[in-house]
Amino acid sequence: MDFILSSLIFTPLLAALVILLLPVRLQKPIKAVTLLAALVQMGLAILLYFRFDGATVANGQTGYQFVQQLNWIGFSLGSLGRFQIDYFVGVDGVSISLVLLTGLVGVIGVISSWNITKNVKGYFLLYLLLLTSVMGCFLALDFFLFYLFFEFMLLPMYFLIGIWGGPKREYAAIKFFIYTLVGSLFILIVMIGLYTSVIDPAATAVEMGLLERGQTASTEVLTQVQQMLQRNQISNYNLVRTFSIPAMMEPANFIPDSLLHVLSGSVLWNLPLRFIAFLLLFAGFAIKVPSVPVHTWLPDAHVEAPTPISVLLAAILLKVGGYGLIRIVYPIFPDAGTYFSILVGGLGVLSIIYGAMNALAMKDLKKLIAYSSVSHMGFVLLGLASLTNEGVNGAIYMMFSHGIISAMLFLVVGVIYDRAHDRMIHNFRGLANAMPAYTAFVVIAFFASLGMPGFSGFISELLVLVGGFGAPEATGLLPRWLTVVAVFGLLLSAAYYLWALQRMFFGKFWIFPELRPNALITDLNTREYLMLVPLAVLALVFGIFPHLLLDKIGLTVNGYTEMVLLRGQEQLGLILSTLK
Amino acid sequence: MSDKLDAILAGAGSLLPELVLAGFFLLVVTLDLFKARSIKILLPWLALTGLFWVLVLQVLGGYTSGDTPFLDLLLSDGLARYGGILFSAAGIFTVLMALQHPRLEKLQEGRGEFYALVLILVLGLNLMAKSVNLLMVFLAIELVSIASYILTLTFKAEKRAVEAGLKYVLYGTFSAGVMLYGMSFFYGLTGTLAYTSESFVMGLYRADTLLVTVAAVLVLAGFFFKISAAPFHFWTPDVYQGAPMPVVALFSTGPKMAGILVILRFINNFTDADAFADVQLLLGVAVLATLAVGNFTALWQRTPRRLLAYSSVSHAGFLLMALLAFGTGYTSSVLFYLTVLLFMNFGIFLLLQVAEEKYGVYTLEGFSGLGRLQPYFGVMALVYLLSLTGLPPLAGFMGKLLIFSNVWEAYTLSANNMLLALLILGILLTGVALFYYIKIPYYLFFKGNQSHENLVISPSEKLLLALFALPLLVLFFKPDLLLGWIEQLLAQTL
């Protein structure tokens, strides 16, 4: 039993409890405790990254590392028999990158929050709760546990935007809360459908007396239970229904009478119920991604959120959406995933193009960055929909790389906002003359984001596009023109970044006279260097040495795409055959 | 005649909780006749003792006479016993809340009356849960109703209380009449009033479907009135607005819990989807209407009392929805939900009582900035409201999850699309619910221009607030503790 994952999740929570006990006026110690917790979390994440063995192939069912599984809630409910909810955490190639990212960005966020003066105790308390729930999301392998963290994330975020945000903060906070809650309700519907349909073969074997309690189940026993289940030979009272995500990935674990069974033939509005479940889940996570057309909460939330919260929102919280699609939606419903690949990929490309065009039109620098996030997250959808090795690798790489780069972008916006209390593009000109070092970092961030070779953004976009172009041959899922259109997104992102650069930073130094006096526009201070330098280095390192990450995730992704594709086509055939 | 007497004597043991309650009721009423201040002060504690005694009695069990009903009227089974535990707890909470209520504490005239009525109301609730005869149900409901009418009017000098009391009486007597009319139908159709018996069901099968449906609708109207389900909820906002806060908290839990238990027993006669399709459809429509009315009307409310009144309507909708999940053994889910509802409602109404009596907050805007001034108050409000919404990590989520699981299972069994529609609607309405519940924390934390006197919440209030909040956390993280016990109770005597 390895406690590293639990330590990752609960270190911030522990620190939050410590802060709760500290009196309000001790602002320095409160900040110090938060920083310490974030540093410990980062240290553990880096340790985990080095200890993680990229050669162990996780194929969905097995291969998770540092697993910890404890019985949490078990009860029987009327005719539904027994239920099992576990505290079940583990890490594989998909989550390792995001765990690392969360650790890194968590520290940057604390440094960025150092100047918060309003209600310091409350702020850092909520910040730590947020870190706990995000980390929990990336590590949970039990759907209930995942859902708990997923929902709990909303609350600290709601208050962080609503209390510490900009002028329209209340509106933005409520919009964020309602949007994402509705998303998670879609997920809840499917979760209920799934856990009433899926059994845990090992626990069921124990109930049936095939196994001693506490004994590990051999593959033969599991297969025997699954075969008996499919032949309806197990009494309802011996079935143990589970929330385990790996168990849900296995079609043999579905109860034959359940509506989400591949062969159930259940149909609603002329669509197989499994397809509807997929669409609901997809909608739930797409809101979080966010994908056009359910992205409208993001610009509002970003514009109103304080800088560190924007950083966290863009760098980590959005990743939960993409992660959910990869971890939950596709492996559990591979059939619908392949069936609707054109929809997922299409929405991805739509996000890329529409997000970029919106960014082009924005007058507020922060809104521009927010729409660039929408655009870049579109690549995640496209890469995933292609279901090629390159595409899925690219999607995960994009999430990691966007985490680093968007953190930098929002910090850069924060720098100018701190000085001028304004971030309208047309209010600034020639900033390069007044703030040369700052301009250098802006250039790095912009170029990293638009996919300049040498930065991590390039690797991820390249991988996704290669995956997309290869998809027609390799998986037969996406039409080639879709990827061709996506390429224009690169062009557009170059356009909006370069244009912003030209308008704000080049030429003779001028700022809108009614803002602040020019003398206050000073270059970067130490604290800002402390945040921007590591991020720039990371963007470069992961741009020049992509194998640092790809070695850890590559084999998992190979197994993943193979499993999803194979099962997808097989199950899709079965579902379509039951319809005739 | 002597047979009857023997039966009464033999079965009286099963009515021990009710007898204790009646005894304490008489004691409080008698002592109330004395004018001495020292005796007046004693009265709530006396009521508390009685309720606590009954609670312990029901938790420990032992008095239960078995599975034959007393005089074919009152059945002391596990369901009634668990209900009784909830009712006693509700009664205890009501008295504790009343002790924190400054104006109720000052009340000299009618002080004993108040606590005596709480006792008699709890007695009525117990009888409701135990009834297996329609006439007994009627009597029990009337007992509860009459106590409720008077409790609404505790502050007779307030115009609002009088208005509320009058509306309550008018609606109440009307629905009681309708219910009685329906019961007479059933008697005519089946020849028996023992509505949980075999012969009652057989009678229903023989009778004309239309008549059965009409009778069921009439009887359910009376039940729906008690649990404030649409379209019999109109009294709810007015009564919640006019009655003293401890009474509102009691109304939002006690009669609702008892009403649900009665409906639970009653509805078991109509599980056959072929024979009673119309009854089931009408129930489905009622669930739909209750959920919609409760949630959407709550959106427009400006005062916390009315907002919570409509929230109470919507919770009735969720409970009714669970009762439609035939064949899935939903009893323990329903009892779990009722338990959670008990703690949530007493918590939030105690909070409102503090807000009204201490800070003079009567509107949603009035909460502005209070959460920042009094973080304890703010956090507690958040806990109760999020639990009412049904968000993790609070027990409200678990309650809804269990109910939705039953409904999904029932949908799997019956492929009845109405259930799926209700399920999806119920889940999505949580989004709407968040929108109105979050208004209170919104004012508490986000708005800051209202000046409040910085009065400190008393330690006893803090303790009570924590007492109601703690189970909400525990029941989320370890629901199996309670569910296991419920299953055990139900298995013992059923």
pTM summary value: 0.91
Nearest by CB to B408, from A76, A119, A192: name it. A192
Nearest-neighbour CA in chain B from A354: distance (Å):
28
In chain B, residues with a C-beta closer than 8 Å to the C-beta of A258 are 412
The whole-number average pLDDT for the span B34-46 is 85
Amino acid at A542: F
What is the pLDDT at residue B1?
63
Q: Which of A76, A163, A268 sits opposite B446 (nearest CB)?
A: A163
Q: Rounded to whole angstroms, how far apart are CA atoms A306 and A131?
A: 16
pLDDT (tens digit per residue) in B194-217: 888 888 888 888 888 888 899 999
Band of residue B452 on the pLDDT scale cut at 50, 70, 90: low
**Residue B494: is its pLDDT beyond 50?**
no
Q: Check residue A280 and give its pLDDT.
A: 92
Q: How high is the pLDDT of residue B90?
A: 95
pLDDT tens digits along B66-86: 667 777 788 888 888 899 999
Distance CA B267, CA B227 (A): 15
pLDDT at B493 over 70: no
Give residue A98's pLDDT.
92
pLDDT, averaged across chain B:
88
Instruction: Tell whether B404 is within 8 A of chain A (Cβ).
Output: yes
In a domain, B477, yes or no: yes
- Which among A118, A185, A237, A259 is the top mutation candidate for probing chain B, defined by the most B β-carbons within 10 Å of its own β-carbon? A185
Contact B442 A196 (CB under 8 A): no
> What is the rounded CA–CA span in Å between residue A413 and residue A497?
13
Q: Which residues of B touch A268 (CB under 8 A)?
A: 417, 420
Q: Is B294 within the bounds of a domain?
A: yes
Mean pLDDT, residues A558-567 taken together: 87
For residue B347, tell me if it sits in a domain: yes
Q: Across residues A157-179, what is the average pLDDT?
A: 87
Best B321, B376, B480 member to test A by mutation, with max A CBs in 10 Å, is B480
Q: Please, are residues A504 and A446 in contact by the beta-carbon 8 Å criterion?
A: no
- Cβ-Cβ contacts under 8 Å for B162 (sequence gap 6 or more): B153, B156, B242
The answer to whether the CB atoms of B442 and A147 lie below 8 A apart is no
Q: Does residue B451 register a pLDDT over 70?
A: no
**A259 inside 8 A of chain B by CB:** yes
* Tens of pLDDT, residues A419-453: 888 888 888 888 888 888 889 999 999 999 988 88
The number of CA neighbours under 13 Å toward the Cβ of A482 is 30
Task: Inform me whether the C-beta atom of residue A13 falls under 8 Å from chain B C-beta atoms.
Answer: no
**Rounded to whole angstroms, how far apart are CA atoms A439 and A456?**
20
Chain A residues whose beta carbon lies within 8 Å of the beta carbon of residue B405: 77, 80, 192, 195-196
A75, A119, A266 member nearest B480 (Cβ): A75
Q: Does B332 touch chain A (CB under 8 A)?
A: yes
List, for residues B249-283, the tens digit of each pLDDT value: 999 999 999 999 999 999 888 888 777 888 888 88
What is the C-alpha separation between B94 and B107, in angstroms, rounded? 16
Distance from CA of B128 to the nearest CA of A (A): 24
Number of domains in chain B: 1
- Which residues does chain A have within 8 Å of residue B433's beta carbon, measured at their own beta carbons? none
Tell me whether residue B447 is in a domain.
yes
pLDDT at B104: 82
pLDDT above 90 for B230: no
pLDDT of the residue at A61: 61
Of the ranges A20-24, A205-209, A383-387, B343-347, which one carries the lowest mean pLDDT score? A205-209
User: Is position B474 within any domain?
Assistant: yes
pLDDT, tens digit, 9 for 90 and up, residues A477-511: 888 888 889 898 889 999 999 998 888 888 888 88
Express each pLDDT in B344-379 by its tens digit: 999 999 999 998 888 888 888 888 888 888 888 889
Query: Confidence band (pLDDT; 50, 70, 90) for B453?
Result: low
Counting residues of chain B whose pLDDT is more than 70, the rounded percentage is 97
pLDDT at B492 over 50: yes
For residue B480, is it within any domain? yes
Q: Is the pLDDT of residue B467 over 80?
A: yes
A380 against B370, higher pLDDT: A380
A205-212: average pLDDT: 76
Residues in A closer than 8 angstroms to B321, CB to CB, are none
pLDDT interval class at A518 (50, 70, 90):
low
pLDDT at site B65 = 56
Which of B206, B204, B228 is closest to B216 using CA atoms? B204
Residue B165 lies in a domain: no
Domain of B300 in residue numbering reads as 272-494
Does A266 or A93 have the greater pLDDT score?
A93
Chains A, B: CB contacts within 8 A come to 101
Domain assignment present for residue B403? The answer is yes
Q: In chain B, what are the helix, strand and coil shares in percent, each to the nearest 5? A: 80, 0, 20
With a CB-CB cutoff of 8 Å, which residues 116-175 of chain B face chain A? none
**The predicted structure's pLDDT at residue B328:** 78
A78–B406 C-beta distance less than 8 A: yes
Span B329-342, pLDDT tens digits: 888 899 999 999 99
* CB-CB neighbors (< 8 A) of A77 in chain B: 329, 332-333, 402, 405-406, 483
- Beta-carbon contacts of A243 under 8 Å, excluding residues fewer than 6 positions away, are A84, A85, A86, A142, A143, A144, A145, A191, A195
What is the pLDDT confidence band of residue A23, given thresholds at 50, 70 and 90?
confident
A chain contacts of residue B424, beta-carbon cutoff 8 Å: 189
Q: Decide: A321 and A287 in contact? Cβ < 8 Å.
A: yes
Q: How does the average pLDDT of chain A come out, rounded? A: 87
Residue B296 has pLDDT above 70, yes or no: yes
Greater model confidence, A165 or A17: A17
Chain A: residue nearest B422 by CA?
A: A189
B175-189 tens-digit pLDDT: 999 999 999 999 998
The ipTM, to two decimals, is: 0.88
Residue pair B351/B377 in contact by the 8 Å Cβ criterion:
yes
